[in-house]
């Protein structure tokens, strides 16, 4: 009887331990077939460990996260100072690191099966997709340079065919690598690689496209996500009481709401300061004469101060009838709202992914923060929104791209378009009639 009681007591203790860890017994059984990823060791710098040794783990984590956050923000300002070309290179490096972190998790989970060519094919597909996207970007934004160099002109002309041929080669290599006893698992990993490419590479390509529209479209969205992340953490740390979502037990409603209002205010203020500088608002263009990027233009109406009438409610509170704003500040409210309301769902998605494989972070690259992917899980969702927002509400026809396409046509096609355009302008009264010009 005593032995039976001890067995029951031990069973009860094991159930309590499972509940304490935040994973139900049902979830444990359901995930029992998923091998656990090895937990990375704590890589907090020894200097910080010694300096913060007297603090509790909660406050120690707060200080480590705070110090590293300030360091990352300082680095962000530094690369902005270095210019658009360096920013593009940083985006590429971040993309590769995020891809490596996700693929490494897949490899760590299933490495015992010794899948042939899994890592090689994963990196090969990354190369193919980057070749396709960056080739499209070069053709769009470096058209004159491409037409000037014969090898680049040939690569540009057959770019999509070459990209497809490269992908098809990888596809055939995958089919040839199939092993009878691992069919299902190999297709799992094939899908794993392609979903990773969709999430990471496609979004980073959109970030670069946003950058070409003007550095303000790159800096403000990224800064809003950073601000929301910091302020939600601060409000949640000091005032958090009400859990927000089960996927992230540490997220609270207090942090979510505090982060929202803080991000709106931050976005309006940051947009006001940046909208006054051509360096930030002008599209990034390639200068063929100097073979370098230039950021200089006459700012559009979006970045010209205008007077806006205040609603009667605000007028009675402030005593102002009008307020002087940049139109971009109004757009920044939409960007800030997305960053603080929808953006965190990118983080929740990443949390669900990590819980599925029983890991805390994607990697241990940044002490107190985890891997690079842990910091950019919300940024990729934001990049897609900004690109769609610009295409839907901001961008109009691009004259330079139209001219690029015209120059690529045959001489007879160019002449036909010239005569059609001339007839259209005469009909509109913008050019004198042919008889008047002859007289």
In a domain, 404, yes or no: yes
Count how many domains the chain has: 1
Residues 6+ apart with CB under 8 A from 280: 214, 215, 216, 219, 274
Q: What is the pLDDT of residues 64-75, one digit of tens each?
A: 777 878 888 888
Residue 104 confidence (pLDDT): 86
In a domain, 281, yes or no: no
Residue 264 confidence (pLDDT): 96
In a domain, 329, yes or no: no
Tokens representing 341? 């309301």
- Note the pTM of the prediction, 2 decimals: 0.79
Kindly give the parts of the chain with pLDDT less than 50: 1-32, 435, 438-439
Residue 47 confidence (pLDDT): 65
Residue 51 confidence (pLDDT): 66
In a domain, 418, yes or no: yes
In a domain, 366, yes or no: no
Residue 21 confidence (pLDDT): 39
In a domain, 386, yes or no: no
Note down the domain range covering 414: 398-432
In a domain, 266, yes or no: no
In a domain, 426, yes or no: yes
């Amino acid at each position: 009887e005593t032995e039976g009681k001890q067995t029951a007591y031990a069973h009860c203790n094991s159930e309590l331990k499972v509940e304490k860890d935040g994973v139900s017994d049902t979830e444990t059984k359901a995930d029992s077939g998923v091998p656990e990823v090895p937990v990375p060791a704590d890589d907090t710098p020894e200097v910080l460990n010694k300096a913060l040794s007297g603090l509790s783990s909660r406050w120690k984590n707060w200080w480590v996260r705070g110090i590293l956050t300030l360091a990352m923000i300082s680095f962000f300002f530094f690369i902005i100072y270095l210019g658009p070309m360096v920013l593009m290179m940083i985006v590429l490096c971040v993309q590769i690191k995020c891809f490596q972190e996700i693929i490494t998790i897949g490899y760590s989970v299933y490495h015992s099966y010794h899948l042939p060519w899994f890592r090689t094919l994963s990196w090969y597909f990354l190369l193919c997709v980057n070749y396709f996207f960056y080739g499209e970007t070069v053709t769009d934004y470096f058209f004159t340079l491409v037409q000037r160099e014969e090898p680049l002109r040939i690569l540009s002309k057959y770019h999509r065919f070459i990209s497809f041929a490269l992908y098809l080669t990888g596809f055939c290599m995958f089919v040839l690598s199939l092993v009878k006893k691992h069919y299902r698992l190999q297709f799992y990993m094939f899908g794993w690689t392609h979903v990773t490419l969709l999430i990471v590479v496609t979004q980073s390509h959109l970030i670069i496209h946003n950058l070409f529209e003007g550095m303000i479209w790159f800096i403000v969205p990224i800064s809003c996500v950073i601000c929301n992340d910091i302020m939600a953490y601060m409000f949640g740390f000091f005032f958090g009481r009400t859990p927000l979502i089960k996927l992230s037990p540490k997220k609270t409603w207090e942090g979510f709401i505090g982060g929202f209002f803080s991000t709106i205010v931050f976005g309006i203020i940051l947009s006001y300061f940046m909208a006054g500088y051509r360096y930030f608002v002008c599209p990034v263009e390639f200068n063929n004469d100097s073979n370098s990027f230039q950021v200089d233009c006459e700012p559009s109406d979006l970045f010209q101060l205008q007077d806006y009438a205040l609603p009667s409610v605000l007028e009675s509170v402030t005593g102002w009838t009008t307020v002087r704003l940049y139109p971009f500040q109004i757009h920044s409210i939409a960007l800030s709202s997305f960053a603080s309301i929808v953006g965190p769902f990118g983080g929740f998605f990443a949390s669900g992914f990590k819980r599925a494989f029983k890991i805390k972070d994607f990697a241990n690259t940044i002490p107190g923060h985890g891997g690079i992917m842990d910091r950019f899980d919300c940024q990729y969702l934001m990049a897609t929104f900004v690109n769609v927002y610009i295409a839907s509400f901001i961008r109009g026809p691009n004259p330079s791209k139209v001219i690029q396409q015209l120059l690529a046509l045959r001489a007879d096609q160019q002449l036909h378009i010239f005569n059609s355009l001339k007839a259209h302008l005469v009909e509109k009264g913008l050019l004198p009639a042919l008889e008047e010009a002859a007289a």
